A and B are shown apart, each in its own frame.
Chain A
Amino acid sequence: MTHSLLKPTRRGFLAGTTAIGGSALLGIRPASAAINWKKHAGTTLEVNLVKSPRSETLIKYLGEFQELTGIKVNAEATPEQQQRQKVVIELSSGKPSFDVVHLSYHVQKRQFEKGKWLADISGFLKDPSLTDPSLVEADFADAGMQFARDADGVLRSLPFSVDYWIIYWNKELFEAKGLKYPETFEEMVTAAEKLTDPSTNTYGFVARGLKNANTPVWTSLMLGYGAKPIGADGKLATDSKEAVEAAKLYQRLMTKAAPPGVSGFNWAEAQSAFLQGKIGMWFDGVGFAPPIENPEKSRVVGKVGYGVMPKGPSAQASGTFGDGLGVVEASTKKEAGYLFCQWAISHEMGARLLQAGAGVPFRQSILEDRKVREGVKMPAAWLDAVVGSGKISQLALPVIIPVTEFRDSFGVGLTNMIGGADPATELKKATEQFAPVLARSEG
């Protein structure tokens, strides 16, 4: 990287001070020289993270933050399910043991809002003594700011890492059948069926079939029909015409072109199948390039294309999920916590995340930085798919409290569809079951 906030060079310092002087004359807000990283030196922060390559990257470079700020950080990283339970129980108690929390937006956003568990950090973002001038809301992907703001538009967290859903496709299998990467849903399903040949154990498509895990597949398809699980009127639209069409497409792909037993597949089983080189397309989150390109784990190294979600009948949209970092409302060290969040999503840390294949930052300036892109170890097609998906990203799950129940209720219906059940009937049944749960959650 040429520029580093943490390790300024003499030339950089001179250029910076000249820029500050110039910008002051033009009435622009002073640059990073104004930020006082040492303001809370001597403070000890408790940070609760989800165990993942993303948190491992943060923990790896924690020493740099401590050196920069003089803040001591005790970081705890626990597996996702356990971390979610732990933080909800602790935050409900009103006396959490941590100051900064790592949250999955697509599951916990509304729950955290309703519980009023996160501090308002809007003021911190505007405070030049606390915030680097490069950190501006416009730099984040739209989905990121939708996630980070609460229902009243107040900023409650900083978007950390985004997960766009893309298509991993086996170029070798496509070439053997004379097919090209699909541009529409119809082309996708046609290609999947043409690639399927059970006699050679080859299948055109794989995605999650297991209850709960499968729901984002369906809701992502639904976006292509111009629909979302909850309509603009706030009511469930899960048995609408578009929802049923998306479910029919899911059923067709999973019954005509997916391997046997797919109704029990989570991402791990789908990944195992794809890595064997017998699957034409795999639809899932963007974070699986590292195992695909690892020769010790994969038989498809160098053979995989990374495609943006094909266009549906009404729209082209990439289902988007993500996680963020927030300062806990009950914390007495909010500014110090904010400094940690800011460091974690900084240009430098985002670049490290991307280059290691550990995650994709929400900040567009990182994705567009030529130097950062040069250091990315994954294929250029993967990075293009990331950037392309960012342009058509849409939230794929509803922002409600009972997200897990939503995923379970409709997930059971989707699994039944793989077993041959009628999509319209299953969606109607699941909608009737889930409606009172949703009503209770906001009651």
Chain B
Amino acid sequence: MASVGMENTAARSGREKGSKPVRLAPNYWPFVIPALVVISAVIVFPWVFTLWMSAHRWTLGQEQSFIGFDNYIRLAGDARFWESLWHTLLYTVLSVVAPLFLGTLAALVFDAQFPLRGFLRGVFVMPMMATPVAIALVWTMMFHPQLGVLNYLLSLVGIGPLEWIYNQSTVIPSLVLVETWQWTPLVMLIVLGGLASIPREPYESAEIDGANAWQKFRYLTLPMIAPFLMIALIIRSIDAVKSFDIIYAMTQGGPGTASETINIYLYNTSFAYYDIGYGSAMAVIFFIAIVALSFVLLMVRQRTNWSEMEER
């Protein structure tokens, strides 16, 4: 163990000095192999198998055959796939922007001192704790054009009735409304944490310089909570892009295919049409898109890091 410790120190010091990378000593392998086996079994194998399936014509209950890139070529000409991609993009952008905006606003409100603040914070975060399918069922009832409470409330102020999730043009905004209702508290909590860590001195200086409330927010608060907003953005983006449960439980991608995201289309293809090969090709493309999105988000995150900002 002593030699391991020494080599470890040597490796670390080598990296610190920017010298050549140190090769792992053979006696490290017993520690690495279990992790490699687990990663290979639960991450690498499923992906290799998915790639393999995507190169086959494979429908459950029928003969399978190798077809190379045919599934990918079919995907390129599949209007429903492109439509579902657009729905995914639209749904993701709206489901990220709306909670970010409202969550920041809520954090600013709850950062101030006022009576019952703790209690109201507790109430505000409650939607986040609810089960998505239960939320979907409750909102589906609320959205019902004839029997739903939302149209009743709108009728009291002379608006409506709206068709909410029952209309092709309003279904995605309605679903985003549910997503926003559930996840705005998460953004609020993250930003609230950021606000608590901000030093007070810059604000005192700004007040001496005569800055108004908007200027203090724009030039002090916003840059200082930017790293926290980025964390919220990354979490929300990942969550929104893979959203399935609420959409499936409320609309199953309908009316028509008006709210069919890639996840829903992929699920239908694989588990309703049993077209496993084509579904796998879709999963591969979707995975590549998510990896690309993650890289972009991580790069942006690096740029908003406090220490990096200071260096610039």
Q: Could you list which residues of chain A lie within 8 angstroms of chain B, going by C-beta atoms?
A: 85, 88-89, 91-92, 111, 114-115, 117, 201, 209-212, 259-265, 269, 272-273, 276, 278, 401-402, 404-405, 408, 411-412, 415-416, 418-419, 440-441
Contacts and interface: CB of A to CB of B under 8 A. Distances in A.
Interface of B: 57, 59-62, 144-147, 161, 163-168, 171, 251-257, 268, 271-274
A421 B219 CA distance: 52
A85 B257 contact: no
Contacts of A269: 144, 166
Contact of B256 (A89, A416, A441): A416
A438 to B, nearest CB: 12
Given A115-B61, A211-B256, A415 B168 contact: yes
Which one of B62, B164, B171, B256 has the greatest number of beta carbons of chain A within 10 Å?
A: B256
Nearest to B168: A419
B255 to A, nearest CB: 4
A441 B60 CA distance: 11
B281 to A, nearest CB: 15
Nearest to A265: B166
B147 A263 contact: no
A264 B59 contact: no
A264 B60 contact: no
A89 B58 CA distance: 12
Contacts of B257: 211, 412
Closest 6 CB pairs of A and B: A261-B166, A264-B166, A261-B145, A115-B61, A415-B256, A261-B163
B147 A264 contact: no
Contact of A260 (B60, B61, B163, B253): B163
Contact of B273 (A263, A273, A404): A404
A211 B273 contact: no
B118 to A, nearest CB: 40
Contact of A210 (B161, B255, B271): B255
A265 B272 CA distance: 20
Which one of A210, A264, A273, A405 has the greatest number of beta carbons of chain B within 10 Å?
A: A264
Contacts of B145: 259-261
Nearest to A110: B61
A412 B164 CA distance: 18
Given A114-B62, A115-B61, A264-B166, A211 B255 contact: yes
A367 B20 CA distance: 87
B139 to A, nearest CB: 13
Nearest to A272: B147
A261 B163 CA distance: 5
A398 to B, nearest CB: 15
Contacts of A209: 255
A293 to B, nearest CB: 20
A269 B144 CA distance: 8
B60 A273 contact: no
Contacts of A402: 273
A401 B145 CA distance: 36
B217 to A, nearest CB: 41
A263 B61 contact: no
A92 B168 contact: no
A211 B253 contact: yes
A263 B59 contact: no
Given A210-B252, A260-B161, A408-B268, A278 B146 contact: yes
A114 B255 contact: no
Contact of A276 (B147, B252, B268): B147
Contacts of B268: 404, 408
B81 to A, nearest CB: 12
Nearest to B79: A433
Contact of A88 (B61, B166, B256): B61
A263 B60 contact: no
A261 B254 CA distance: 12
B255 A88 contact: no
Contacts of B161: 260
A262 B147 contact: no
Contacts of A440: 57, 59
25 contacts: A92-B60, A111-B61, A114-B62, A115-B62, A210-B254, A211-B254, A211-B255, A260-B166, A261-B144, A261-B146, A262-B166, A263-B254, A263-B256, A264-B171, A269-B166, A276-B146, A276-B147, A401-B61, A402-B273, A404-B268, A404-B272, A405-B273, A415-B168, A419-B168, A440-B57
A323 B2 CA distance: 71
A276 B145 CA distance: 13
Contact of A272 (B57, B144, B163, B167): B144
A85 B271 contact: yes
B61 A264 contact: no
A264 B146 contact: no
A212 B271 CA distance: 15
Contact of B61 (A85, A114, A265): A114
Given A412-B256, A412-B257, A261 B164 contact: yes
A241 to B, nearest CB: 24
B63 to A, nearest CB: 10
B165 A264 contact: yes
Contacts of A278: 146
B272 A92 contact: no
Nearest to B257: A412
B273 to A, nearest CB: 5
A194 B144 CA distance: 24
